[in-house]
Amino acid sequence: MIIAQISDTHLTLDTPDADQRRRDFALTIADLNALDPRPDVIVHTGDVAHNGRKDEYSEAAAILGKARAPIYLLAGNRDGRANLHAAFAADGYLRSSDFLDYAIDDYPVRLIALDTLGPGNRGDFCAERARRLTDLIEGNTRKPIAVFTHHPPFEVLVGPDRLHFETAEALWRLRGALQQSGRVVGIFSGHVHRAAEGYVGNIPASVVQCIATTLRKGDYPPPMKRRAVYHIHRFDPAWGFSTETRIVAAAALPQPVLEAPVVLARSSRTATGTQQY
């Protein structure tokens, strides 16, 4: 089974880099369509839109509509639950707009997507969501489970922010719920805009870079500045998940001249205090 994970497209319609964000997103879908073998499924781990607006989701839907594999979306802190739910409810997997969590049973690995939205930039995971996660996990006890979250359920030791949840209590509530069954074999997240790896107990966990290259953190050589990055997770019943980092093919489209894109990338190395993702 092959799962493609993309994240943090932060689609906007009216920022100076709006065209670049749209281009990064569209080229990523084109790159996924060109893979051989193609992924069985694509999971977007949140921050689909930058302001959670209806017109941003309309644009996102037009881009996602070109994908040749089924796509499942998570909500990130920049998304709006109600507008995201309204834009993609017809796809059938979003149960309600209260919490955008769900399970997909169509594959050898069960996919569980979580809603970790908090009141602001950081994540939250209340007792109600822990109960819902336990229900999702117990809904099918025959398959291994891959869990997708926007906020990573481990402390990320690179960058100024280690803890991406409102409270340590919320983080540990989520970590506890993930470990209860012993059947979660991989956890895949976004939000941090740079790659990271960690563990939840003995479950391997990872963060994928953001698709929006103007928002990416960390240093990239000049030829990679406008090349989006995503992850391919291949599952083998004996070996578990193996993850490949894919660099999106260079654009055939003309590249816009953006103001100070390098400053955006470098500022993340030296900034202190709370960052916006």
Residues 86-145 contacting Fe ion, CB under 5 A: none
Site size for Fe ion, by CB under 5 A? 3
**CB nearer to Fe ion: pick between 10 and 173:** 10
25 binds Fe ion (CB under 5 A): no
Backbone φ and ψ for 253, nearest 5 degrees, come out as -80, 155
Residues 33-52 contacting Fe ion, CB under 5 A: 47
CA gap 259, 223 in Å, rounded? 17
277 binds Fe ion (CB under 5 A): yes
**CB nearer to Fe ion: pick between 31 and 47:** 47
**CB nearer to Fe ion: pick between 145 and 206:** 206
User: What is the closest distance, in whole angstroms, from the C-beta atom of residue 143 to Fe ion in the complex?
Assistant: 30
8 binds Fe ion (CB under 5 A): yes
User: What is the closest distance, in whole angstroms, from the C-beta atom of residue 96 to Fe ion in the complex?
Assistant: 24
166 binds Fe ion (CB under 5 A): no
Mask: binding to Fe ion, 47-86, rule CB under 5 A, as x and -?
A: x---------------------------------------
24 binds Fe ion (CB under 5 A): no
User: What is the closest distance, in whole angstroms, from the C-beta atom of residue 112 to Fe ion in the complex?
Assistant: 21
Q: Give the residues lining the site for Fe ion (CB under 5 A).
A: 8, 47, 277
